[in-house]
A and B are shown apart, each in its own frame.
Chain A
Amino acid sequence: MLIVAIAFLILLLMGMPVAFAIGISGALFFLQHPELPFTIPVQVTVSQTQNFALLAVPLFIMAGNFMNRSGITERLLELASVLTGRMTGGLAQVSLALSALMGGVSGSAIADAAMQARMLGQEMVKRGFTLGFASAVLSFGAVLTPTIPPGIGMILYGTIGQVSIGRLFAAGFVPAILLWIGLSATVWLTAKRRGYKPEREKRPTLRETAHAFTGGIWAILFPVFLLLGLRTGVFTPSEIGAFAVVYAIFIGVLIYRKMKTRAFLEALEGSLSDVGSVMFLIALSAIFSYGIVLERVPEVVSGLILGITQDLEGVMVLIALFTLAAGFFIDATVLIIMLTPIFLPLIRQLGGDPVHFGMIFLVAATIGNFTPPVGAAMYAVCSILKCPIGAYTRESIPLFAAVAVITLFLVFVPEAVLFLPNLIFG
C-alpha cells in the first residue's frame, strides 16, 4: 500500500487529473497481488455508480444548475444581500447559513458542497473573494450537513456500534451550532483582515427588504419544501435530490417563467461536465480504498496509538487527531466503517459515552472529505469552480483549525453533546 501511496503522490505532482491518478495508483495494488482477479478495479468502480447513497450527488449538482437558470439563485442572492449586506464576509456567511439549512435535508456533505459551489461559487468570486477562499468556505461549510440530522454517517455509526440513532440525531444539534459559530467567526476574521467590504454601505430600506422577501419567497421555501418532502415520507434522504431538481424546474418554468427551452438545455448541459468530473473521481477512488481495507491499514496504526495512553480524554484526543490525520487520505464513510468497531469498544471499556464519542469521531471523520490530497467534497467544489488545490489548501487552513479546535473542545465538554439527547430521552 506504501507503493500505491507514493505512486499516487508522484502522479498527482506530474499534473495528471486526480481521477486518473487515484485509479491508476490504486490499480498498482493489484499488480502486487496477482492472486486477486484483475477485474476487481473495474468491478468496484462500476459498483460505486450502483451505490444508492451516492445518487444524491449528481441529483444535487443538477439541482444547483437548474436553480441558477430558474431565477431562484438570483432572488436568493438579492435576499442575502439585503440581510447580510452589511455584514463582513456577506455571501460567505450566506453559504454557511445555507449549509445549516441543507443540513436538515441532506445527509451528504459532498452533495451539499457540490450544489452550493454551482449556486454561489462564481457570485462569491465576483464579489471579490479569492477563488481559494470561496472554495474553502463552500467546502468546509458542508461539515454542518452530516452533523445536523439526518446524516448518513450517524446511521452508519449507530448501526455498526449499536448506538441509539435517535440519541445520535439529537446529539448533533449543539455541535452543529458550535461548528457554525466557529466557521462564521473564522470567515469574519479573514474578511476583516483582508478588507473584504460589506456589499452595502447603508442599511436597506424596509421597502427593499420587503421586496427581497416577496421576490425570494420561493427560494426561502426551497429548503422548507425539501424538509416537508422528507418528513412526510414522500422521499427518503437518498431520493430528496430528485425532488430538488423537479422543484427548481417547476419554479423556473411556471412561477418565475424565466426558464425557457434554451435555459433548460443550458442547465442540463452544464450538469453533464460537473457530474462527469465529480462522479468519475468518486467512482475511481473505490480502487484506492480496496487496498487500504484489504491491508487493514487503520487497524494497524490504531493499535500503535492505543499503546500510548489509557486515559479516557487522552484516548479521545488521540483518536480525534488520528482520525483527522487518516482523513487526509481516506474519506469519511470508509473511516467510519473501519474505525468504529476498533475504537468504540475501547471507549466503552474506559467508561466513555458512545454518543459523546460518536459525535467527536463523526465530525473528525467528516473533515476528511474537505482535506487534501484525497477529499470528495473538496474535489467536487474545486472541479466545479476550477480552483487549484494549492490555493484551496492555503485558504482552508484557518477553517480546518477552527473545526479541529471545536472537535477537541467537544472532548472536554461532553455536556455540549449530551445535553440535548439526555433532555429528550432521559
Chain B
Amino acid sequence: MNALFMFLRKSEAVLAGTLLLLMVILIFLNGVARMMGHPLNWTIDLATCFFAWGCFLCADIAWRQDGLMSIEILTRRLPPKAARALDYINHMIIAGFLVYVIYAGVWLSWVSRARAFQGMPGVSYSWVTASIVVGGVLLLITTLIRLCSALREDGFVRAPRRKGEASC
C-alpha cells in the first residue's frame, strides 16, 4: 500500500511538471510559428488541454503539501479540541463534495462525449472533462489520508507499525 502511494505521488509530480513544461513549449512554438507565417492552430488547443490536467494534478499536490490557503481568524482563537473538531468536519464536507465532483465529472464526460474539443471532429472534449475526474479522485485520496493521519494522531486508530506510513 505504502509503496503504491509513494509511486503515485512521484508519478503525479513528474506528470504535472511535464505537462506545465509542455504547455510553455507549445505556446512559445505557437508564437514563433505564427511569426514565420505558418500558424499552428493545434498548439494552443493542446496547451489548454494540458493546462486542465496540470491544473488539477497541481491542486492535489498543493492540497497534500498543505498549500491551499485558509482563513484562520476564528480557528486560531478556539480551544485546540474545538479547532480539531472543526478540522474533522471540514475534511468530511470536502470528501463529500469530491465524491459529488467525481460522480458529476464521470456523468458529464459520458453524456457529452459527442462534444468536439475545439471543434475538431473526432477529438472528444471528454478528454478535458476527465481531468477533473482524475483530479477529484486524487484529491479525495489525499483528503482521506489527511483524515486518517488526524485520527491516528488523536489515537482513534492504531498507529502504524513503521513511522511515516501513509496508509491507515
Query: Which A residues are closer than 8 A to B by beta carbons?
Result: 11-21, 23-24, 27, 38-39, 41-43, 45-46, 49-50, 52, 55, 58-59, 62, 229, 232-236, 239, 241-243, 245-246, 265, 268-269, 271-277, 279-281, 283, 373, 379, 382-383, 386, 388-390
Contact = CB atoms under 8 A, between A and B. Distances in A.
B149 interface: no
Interface majority SS (helix, strand, loop, mixed), chain B: helix
A16 B104 contact: no
B118 to A, nearest CB: 9
Interface of B: 13, 16-17, 20-21, 23-25, 27-28, 30-32, 34-35, 44, 47-48, 51-52, 54-63, 65, 67-75, 83, 86-87, 89-90, 93-94, 97, 100-101, 104-105, 107-108, 111, 128-129, 131-132
Q: Is the interface of A mostly helix, strand, loop or mixed?
A: helix
- The 4 A-B pairs of least Cβ separation, nearest first, read A276-B58, A276-B62, A280-B59, A17-B68
A229 B34 CA distance: 13
A330 B156 CA distance: 42
A410 to B, nearest CB: 33
B31 A234 contact: yes
A55 B23 CA distance: 9
A49 B55 contact: yes
Contacts of B23: 55, 58-59, 242
Contact of B58 (A12, A42, A52, A273): A273
Contact of A14 (B25, B63, B67, B86): B86
Nearest to B65: A273
B98 to A, nearest CB: 9
B69 A17 contact: yes
B72 A390 contact: yes
A38 B104 contact: yes
B69 A382 contact: yes
B74 A46 contact: no
Given A14-B86, A269-B13, A388-B71, A283 B93 contact: no
13 contacts: A13-B75, A18-B68, A20-B68, A39-B104, A46-B129, A49-B48, A49-B51, A58-B55, A59-B27, A272-B62, A280-B56, A383-B69, A390-B71
Nearest to A265: B17
Given A239-B30, A383-B68, A13 B59 contact: no
Contacts, number: 197
A271 B19 CA distance: 12
Contacts of B94: 16-17, 20, 24
Nearest to B86: A14
Given A15-B83, A41-B104, A280-B68, A58 B20 contact: yes
A358 to B, nearest CB: 29
Nearest to B105: A42
B35 A233 contact: yes
Given A50-B52, A239-B30, 20 more contacts: A14-B74, A15-B71, A17-B94, A18-B71, A19-B69, A39-B107, A39-B111, A49-B55, A49-B128, A234-B31, A241-B27, A243-B28, A269-B13, A276-B55, A277-B59, A280-B56, A280-B58, A280-B68, A386-B69, A388-B73
Contacts of A243: 28, 31
Contacts of A283: 55, 59
A235 B27 CA distance: 9
Contact of A271 (B20, B75, B89): B20
A22 B65 CA distance: 20
B97 A20 contact: yes
B73 to A, nearest CB: 5
Q: Which residue, B52, B71, B132, has most C-beta atoms of chain A within 10 A?
A: B71
A51 B74 CA distance: 35
A242 B21 CA distance: 10
B72 A388 contact: yes
A358 B2 CA distance: 58
Contacts of B93: 11, 16, 20, 24
A276 B87 contact: no
Which of A23, A236, A239 lies at the interface centre, i.e. has the most chain B CB atoms within 10 A of its CB? A239
